[in-house]
Structure formats: C-alpha cells, structure tokens
Amino acid sequence: MTHLDGRESGATDPNAPVRRSVLTLRGALKTFGPVVALADGTIDLVAGEIHALVGENGAGKSTLVKILAGVHQPDAGEFSVDGQAVSFRNVADSKAAGISVIYQEPTLFPDLTVAENIFIGRQPKGRFGLISRAEMRRRAKDLFDQLGVPIDPDRVAEGLSIADQQIIEIAKAISLDARVLVMDEPTAALSGVEVERLFAVARRLRDAGSGILFISHRFDEVFGLCDRITVMRDGTYIATHETPAMTVEAIVREMVGRDIDALFPKSETERGDVVLRVSGLTRPGVFHDIDFEVRAGEIVALSGLVGAGRTEVARAVFGIDRYESGTVEMLGQKLRSKDPRASIDAGIGFVPEDRRKQGLVMELSVERNAALTLRHSLAKFGLISTRAEREAAETWGKRLQVKSSSPEHPVSTLSGGNQQKVVLAKWLATDPKLLIIDEPTRGIDVGTKSEVHRLISELAGRGIAILMISSELPEVLGMADRVLVMREGRITGRLDRSEATAETVMHAATAALESSR
C-alpha cells in the first residue's frame, strides 16, 4: 500500500497544493514495421488522482498502456517514475517500479485459491521454509478489508465473476506496493452494481495516494470518476484537462479532431429490393426475436454495447452458429442454419470481428488468403492452380490498393489496415449481394480507416446490401442509412439516419436510460 508523506489527497480539489508526479511519459514513439502505433505518447499522472485516458479505437491507448506495463519498449521518448528516469525491459521491471495493470479480463489460475493467486510466486513462508497458508489467508483478508470487498480468500478462482477477478488483481497490485494502477477498460464486461463497487475501490486507492490511470470508452464513467482527462488521437497526445472544466462534446471534438461528416464520406444511394430478411431469429439466452431486413444499396448498422448480442446475430445469420427458431432469407430463399458454405453460395460475405483469428489464416500467403473464398469457383475440372489464385488475388489486391511486398509472403507481414483490405478483397471477389462487416476498422491506422469507409460507401453505391456492426459511435452515425440498436439480445431501437444521434443510440443501448424514459 502506498503511504504518502502525510499529504492529503486533494486531486478533486482544483486548488490542491502540491502535485507530485508518480509517472511521466513524454513523446513516446512506438512503431511496428510500417505502422506507427504511437507517435507521441504523453501522460502525466500525479499521486492521488484518477486520470482518464480517452481516444477513439486505434488512438494508441493500448500501446501506451503496454509501454507502461513493460510489454513494449518505446523507440523514443522520456519515461520516468517518481521522478526517476526508467526504461523497462520487460513486465517484471514495470512491476518492480510499482506499476500494476488491470486488464479487461484478468487471467487468474483457475485451480488455485484466491489467496494463492494473490501471492503466487512470493508466498509467505513459515517454519522450515514451507508456505504458511494461515499467513497468506490473513494477508489476503486484510487486503479485501482494505478494499471493502468481501471475497473468501479460500475459494478457488474458477467461477469468480470478472468483476471479482479484477478486484483480486487490484488486491495483488496493492500487495505489491503498486503506486500506479492502470485500468484498461475495466468496466466493459461489468454490470452496473459491479461498476459501482469497482469505482468505490478506485476512490479509496486514490484517497490513499495512488495514481490511477483509467481507460474507458464510457463518458459517464470518465466524468463521474476521474479528476483529469487526457485525450489522444491518431497515436498522438492532444491535451489534458481538469474534468470539471470539460463537457462531453468538447472531449469528443478533440478525440475525433474533425467534422464527422467530412470523415465519413456518405453518399446518398437508391435503396433497392430486400436482400436479407431476418425474422423471429432466436437463440435462448443470446438473442431473441430479431427481425430486420437489409435492402440493396443500404448500409444498416447494428449498434449497441459490447455483449449486447450483435456479433452473435451476425454469426447466426451467416451460419457459423446455430439458432433455435426464426428464419433467415436471402433474396427470398430460406437459408439453412449452421451452413456457412450455403450462405456464401447465396451471396453473403462475412468480414468477422477478429481479423487475426477469424478473418485470415495469418500464416498463409496473401494470395492464398485472398483466394480462399474462391477456391471452388476458381477450380477447373475440380483442379485449382496457383496461377488462377494469383490472378484473382492481384485483381482484387490492386482494386483495393493492398500494399504487400509479395503475394507469396504470409499475410501476417502486412499492416492491420492492409490485412483488413485482404479480408474485404476475398469477399468482394465472390461478388456478394450482402456483406456483413463486423467492426470494419478495428485496430486499423487512421489513414486506411477512411479508405475502408469510403470503400464501404462505394460498395453500397453499387447496390450491395451492407450490414455493419460497430462499437464506434461516430462510425455508426457517419456510415449508416439505418441504425438498429441492440441491448441484452433484443433490438431496442430502430433509427433512421435522420433520427440517429449519439444520444438516441445510447438511449436505446443502455438500460439505465431506457427505464428513466
């Protein structure tokens, strides 16, 4: 536990006297091959404050966190902890310097008890050098008392909620004397009550003098919890503000850095016939009574919080997962449940959310990946040739401006944006009538991002029906003709382009707002 020299924690008070920096990072640069993940990573964390780090996806927040955690080593920049210049070679160095990172989903050892997890690798020893369970239990209990959270130190970690697992990670951090606690989107998977409990813990730690860096996409949390806000955009530090002086609008403006209309080149298109009609689609416990249709030339966005069931619906429509009842019709033809091949033949393309695991076979060459969806149509008399694959890959690679040094190199050597283009290329090559795109620009550098947006608009202009899932609100508002909002497995809002605003979408997406209506 951190004990500061008698100083009161006054970060909430704008007139707080001395502010001692516990962690300072200036101008950190980090590149991965051709991609600059972080151009100017700058953060100044003082003792006794909760400091929010906000930015769009791909703004470089995660890279910055990984530098703090010692996972990545910056290529340039200044980094100091407690005024001492540091350079971490690995995670252990960072831990030793008093930095603890709590990730969205902690990884505990499921078969060990809570206390064992906290003291793993440094168990208190008793007589004869054996582990003293009583001592370990007592210390774990102390930690939880300190945090004001009742968790039984003797239970095994398996089956604990994510919220409890995070608390255990925090307890572990305290036991390590961590002065800096970094929470990387800790609330993404938590319920309302759990979020409140986590915040209570965070405030206690702040008042005890720790510096807490809090990364979140949720503005209500940022404004409700944090003392200061640092904004990042495109891998670059933009500004740091005192929270009371800011509004959500001002922060969003800084995060986006430009007019959303200019960012998303949305062209008006003719809406054609219904391409996809989904009715009564239900998988108990996951999604219920999903009804919607997508017309030719239309971009329909499926919005909602992470975990609302958006991806699950898309997977069921495409045939990756089974559904219990309801129907999926493509151009009037009913599709079979759990048969992706039939969906592809019916004209559906699916760009999945996890490019590295689902969208591409990372070890295979660019051309093999690009031609994988075409393997049946390219075959002559049942035989497929490398030449045919290469020609197809070249055609689409050129059209989408895929940058690679050779089509024979593994697709893993490309940058994220170019990988995503390969995924798009392989589906466009099948001449789809409907393209389902799950998180079209996740983890893509900003330049390529707008290229992808332009491409999606163009495709809709050419009459392809597009069902887009996105967690980025600006993307949803900027791209979609219609927005369907999901919450807890149901569609809770259907908004036209004219009705869709950040407010109306968030209204439909969050239960709290819904009930207050």
Partner 1 sequence: MSDPTGSGTIVHPDGEPSETAAKGRRMTASPGSTRPGTEKRQKPGRRGAADTSTVLAVPKGRTGAARILLGRDAVMIYVLLVVVLYACIVIPRFASPVTVGFLLLDVIPTLLIALPMTLVIISGEIDLSVASIAGLTSALMGVLWQGGMPIALVLVICVLAGLVAGAFNGVLIAYLGLPSLAVTIGTLALFRGLALVVIGDNAVANFPPGLTAFFTSKIGGTGIPTVMVGVVVLIVAFAIVLHFTPFGRGLFALGYSKEAATFVGIDVARSKFLLYLATGTVSALAGIYWTLRYSSARSDNASGLELAVIAAVLLGGVSIFGGKGSIPGVLAGVLLIGTINYALKLDRVSEVVLIIVTGSLLIISVVAPNVAAAIKQARHSRRVRSAPLP
SS3 call for 42: strand
Site string for partner 1, 139-178 (x = CB under 8 A): ----------------------------------------
CB of 431 to partner 1, least distance (A): 15
Q: How far is the CB of 341 from partner 1 (least distance, A)?
A: 4
Going by C-alpha positions, the residue among 67, 102, 101 that lies closest to residue 87 is: 67
Residue of the chain from 164, 312, 439, 445 that contacts partner 1 (CB under 8 A): 445
| Closest distance to partner 1 from the beta carbon of 354 (Å) | 8
Among 166, 373, 441, 457, interactor with partner 1 by CB under 8 A: 373
For residues 352 and 420, give the distance between their C-alpha atoms in angstroms, rounded to a whole number.
10
3-state secondary structure of 280: strand
Question: CA 256, 258, 259, 265: dihedral to nearest 10 degrees?
Answer: -90
CA distance 517 to 512: 9
The nearest distance, CB 111 to partner 1, in angstroms, is 20
35 binds partner 1 (CB under 8 A): yes
Stretch that binds partner 1, among 84-92, 243-251, 447-455, 495-503 (CB under 8 A): 447-455
Interface size with partner 1, residues (CB under 8 A): 73
Instruction: Show contacts with partner 1 in window 332-371 (CB under 8 A).
Output: 340-341, 343-344, 350, 352, 357-364, 366-368, 371
Closest CB 450 distance from partner 1, rounded Å: 7
Which residue, 337 or 448, is less far from partner 1 as judged by CB? 448
DSSP 323-340: -SEEEEEETTEEPPTT-H
Enumerate residues 241-270 that contact partner 1 by CB under 8 A.
257-258
Task: Give Cβ neighbours of residue 376 (< 8 Å, ≥ 6 apart).
Answer: none
Among 248, 385, 461, 488, binds partner 1 (CB under 8 A): 385
Q: Closest by alpha carbon to 220, among 510, 515, 16, 516?
A: 510
Evaluated on CA atoms 66, 69, 72, 73, the torsion sign reads positive
Residues 217-246 contacting partner 1, CB under 8 A: 233-236
Considering the complex, state which of residue 124 and residue 257 has its C-beta at the smaller distance from partner 1. 257
Query: Which residues within the stretch 401-430 sit at the binding site for partner 1 (CB under 8 A)?
Result: 401-409, 413, 415, 417, 426
- The CA-based diameter of the chain, rounded to the nearest angstrom, is 82
Q: Strand locations in 162-249, DSSP E?
A: 180-184, 211-215, 228-233, 236-242
d(CA 445, CA 1): 39
Nearer to partner 1, 93 or 339 (CB): 339
Out of 51, 266, 390, 453, name the contact with partner 1 by CB under 8 A: 390
Tell me if 32 contacts partner 1 by CB under 8 A: yes
Q: Enumerate residues 51-80 that contact partner 1 by CB under 8 A.
A: 75-76
Comparing CB distances to partner 1, the nearer of 117 and 419 is 419
Q: Which of 329, 450, 474, 490 binds partner 1 (CB under 8 A)?
A: 450
CA-to-CA distance for 202 and 414, rounded, in angstroms? 40
- Cα torsion 162, 165, 171, 174 to 10°: value is -70
User: Of the ranges 31-39, 191-199, 328-336, 496-504, which one interacts with partner 1 (CB under 8 A)?
Assistant: 31-39
Please state the closest distance from residue 374 (CB atom) to partner 1, in A: 9
Written in H, E and C, the secondary structure of 449-489 is: HHHHHHHHHHHHHCCCEEEEECCCHHHHHHHCCEEEEEECC
Give yes or no for a contact between 451 and 417, defined as CB atoms under 8 angstroms apart. Answer: yes
Nearer to partner 1, 368 or 507 (CB): 368
Determine the Cα–Cα distance for residues 295 and 272; give it in Å rounded to an integer. Answer: 6
Q: Is 496 in the site for partner 1 (CB under 8 A)?
A: no
Residue placing its CB nearer to partner 1 in the complex, 155 or 398: 398
> Closer to partner 1 at the Cβ: 147 or 422?
422
